[in-house]
Amino acid sequence: MSRLHGIKGFRGTGKITFGGAVTTVILVLWSVVQIFPLYWMLTFSLKENSEIFGSNVIGLPHNWIWSNYTTALQSGNMFRYLLNSAIVTGATIAITVVAATAATYALTRMVWRGRKTVNSLFMLGITIPINAVILPVFLILSKLHITNYWALIIPYSAFALSMAILISASFMQGIPKELEEAACLDGCNIYGIFWRIILPLMRPALATLSIFIFLQAWNELMYAVIFISDSKYRTITVGIQNLSGSFTTDWGPIGAALVVATFPVLLIYAFFSSKIQESLVAGAIKG
Amino acid sequence: MLMIICNVFIGWKWRLTSKLSRGEDLMDRTMKNKTAILLFLLPACILFIGIIVVPIIMSAYYSLLDWDGITASTFVGFKNYAEIFTKKSIGFPGAVKNAFLLAGLSVFIQLPISLGLALTLAKGVKGEKLYTAIFFIPVIISTTVIGQLWLKIYNPNYGIVNMALRAVGLDSWAATWLGDEKTALFAVFIPILWQYVGYHMLLMYTGIKSQPEELREAAMIDGANDWQIARYLTIPLLKPVLQVCAIFAITGSLKAFDLIYVLTNGGPAHASEVPATIMIKQLFGRNNYGVGSAIAVFIVFICFFFAILIKKAFRTEVDK
């Protein structure tokens, strides 16, 4: 394929060069730096204090204390918080995807005056930090008596919107116009075109979008702390904060709660790692 | 009409060669459907205007008020802005200094590490995919979890930092990392920098991978070594990505909140305070809406300012 294939092959035929060894050492060392804290978290979630505090600091547990997990889930109320986070995140994804793809369609495909201006206004939203408007949003929502899940879903959706429009626009541009023309001649109206032609074709982008929104909404802390006063609606990030306050001396259950909160994210990552990487890069490079 | 429908049945590709003016008209009309445009834009506009545009204007307005949210507000002009920079008890200048320090560290320590890793991986190392996946894991984990985890790592009695120091006989180095004014700031910065190395690495790695391979191969044939290729070819071509990374690293530092909130909440004695932690304390701790909003506006302004500044800096760089 390339002119250099021979040379490259020569370089990589199992000959261990000095440079290659250094490279490997650096990469492995850095992997340890990035992974070790998480490994430590996993092991201490299954240990009792005596092991964590001295007899077995970094090894695998001698006694596997699974009850740490039941303690975290029951007295820490983790199930409830996980469910709340799932509700908030799911609704945020649904609303943002619908609002963003519909708006993107109007902004990139339909013909009207001022669409460029409206588009650049939306793009300005990317640079606005979410914490800069926390007070007015708080006041607006409490004036409207919105204190349940919606108090998080609405701001999360609004703040995911600009990036979602950006990502879907870059994808929608790749869909050939002829498909819509054909559907149009076929008697399909504009809503049908959007619903039956564009959205199905956008499926790969929708996955990227959803992952991007998921990570933002699932991990958000500032709004979740301040907007939700009723523990019924508390999300997992706030739940962990409270749990660690009430289990200061018992490390096992805290570790378990941290693992429980991280698990859904890691599970999704295990299946979609390249999609996730792609979605976070897409957002950045085009922004 | 029948014919048109028949044509559609034959397939849309056929339309590429023969254009039907009636079809074009219909398409034109469909795409100019005012009601549809409005309907498509409506949900996004409601969210965007209601939660971003209006609140920003409100923030700007509140920043000019002396207001506790309960009693009547009084208009004080720019007094709040003067106050955040002069009133000692707020501790704002120190927080801004800390944010700049964090921004500096992320540009001069975090980004070079990321760049080094990206260059190494993009050369084509065995297990390239695995390494990228591993480096990226901390990025996707909630900052709350990362924060709680590092609280344990820094624990003065049983955290692994002090445990490790004691194990190698450096007992005297063991410290109350987050509780000591001298160490708290850097102890908070380390996990922030640690968490996002993988993110910048991935951006740069993707950028390098999208560069034409032939260029590097040609340079290699001409006898350039890895360092020269990186210095004179890969990095200059990577400028647009480096610009994005710099903007993200700096604006991210200026608005940093989550990890600091979890680890120290600005303490001890304001040693690790940043603008966002002060803003939250002023807004929701003291109901000092005017001062808090002034800080919010300051954060927006300074993020914009640096984003534009970096874009300018990179542009002149390219022009040279």
Q: Assign residue B237 the CATH number of its domain.
A: 1.10.3720.10
Amino acid in the structure at residue B66: D
Q: Where are the alpha helices (DSSP H) in A75-198?
A: 78-108, 115-124, 134-143, 150-172, 177-185, 190-192
Contacts A33 to B, Cβ<8 Å: 194
In a 13 Å sphere around the CA of B264, the CA atoms on its Cβ side amount to: 28
Residue A14 clears pLDDT 70, i.e. is over it = no
In this structure, are residues A201 and A175 in contact, taking their beta carbons and an 8 Å threshold?
Answer: yes
Given its phi and psi angles, is residue A26 left (phi above 0), alpha (psi -120 to 50 degrees) or beta?
alpha
Token pair, residue B279, equals: 């803003």
- Distance CA(B128)–CA(B229), nearest Å, equals 19
Neighbours of A47 (CB within 10 A): 24
When pLDDT is cut at 50, 70 and 90, the band that residue A16 belongs to is low
- Distance CA(A25)–CA(B131), nearest Å, equals 12
Q: What is the pLDDT of residue B78?
A: 92
Most A CBs within 10 Å, among B48, B63, B70, to test the A interface? B48
pTM of the full predicted structure? 0.84
Residue B39 in any domain: the answer is no
Residue A286 clears pLDDT 80, i.e. is over it = no
Residue B156 in any domain: the answer is yes
When pLDDT is cut at 50, 70 and 90, the band that residue A6 belongs to is very low
Instruction: Tell me the range of A12-16, A215-219, B313-317 where mean pLDDT is highest.
Output: A215-219
Please state the φ and ψ torsions of residue B66, each to the nearest 5 degrees: -105, 110
The ipTM (two decimal places) reads 0.83
Q: Which pLDDT tens digit goes with each residue over B241-274?
A: 898 899 889 988 998 998 999 999 988 988 999 9
Q: Could you tell me the residue range of the domain that residue B258 belongs to?
A: 81-319
When pLDDT is cut at 50, 70 and 90, the band that residue A152 belongs to is very high
Nearest Cα of chain A lies from the Cα of B234 at a distance, in angstroms, of 17
Size of interface A-B (CB pairs under 8 A): 297
- Distance CA(B266)–CA(B272), nearest Å, equals 5
Q: What's the whole-number mean pLDDT along residues A237-243?
A: 88
Q: What's the whole-number mean pLDDT along residues B182-208?
A: 92
Closest CA to B269 of B98, B83, B85: B98
Q: Which residue has the tokens 């208009």?
A: B75
Amino acid in the structure at residue A267: L
Please state the φ and ψ torsions of residue A216, each to the nearest 5 degrees: -65, -50
Residue B7 in any domain: the answer is no
CB burial string B252-278: b at 16+ within 10 A, e below = bbbbbbbbbbbbbebbbebbbbbbbbb
Token pair, residue A285, equals: 């490079």
Nearest to B55 among A107, A136, A165 (CB): A136
**Is A280 in Cβ contact with B199 (below 8 Å)?**
yes
Residue B152 in any domain: the answer is yes
Residue B63 in any domain: the answer is no
When pLDDT is cut at 50, 70 and 90, the band that residue B318 belongs to is low
Question: Across-strand partners of B75?
Answer: B65
Residue A7 clears pLDDT 60, i.e. is over it = no
Q: What's the whole-number mean pLDDT along residues A48-60?
A: 80
Q: What is the pLDDT of residue A13?
A: 44
Mean pLDDT of chain B: 87
**Is A4 in Cβ contact with B37 (below 8 Å)?**
no
Number of domains in chain B: 1
CATH numbers and ranges of domains, chain A: 5-69 (no CATH), 78-286 (1.10.3720.10)
Name the residue of chain B whose CA is nearest to A136's CA: B55
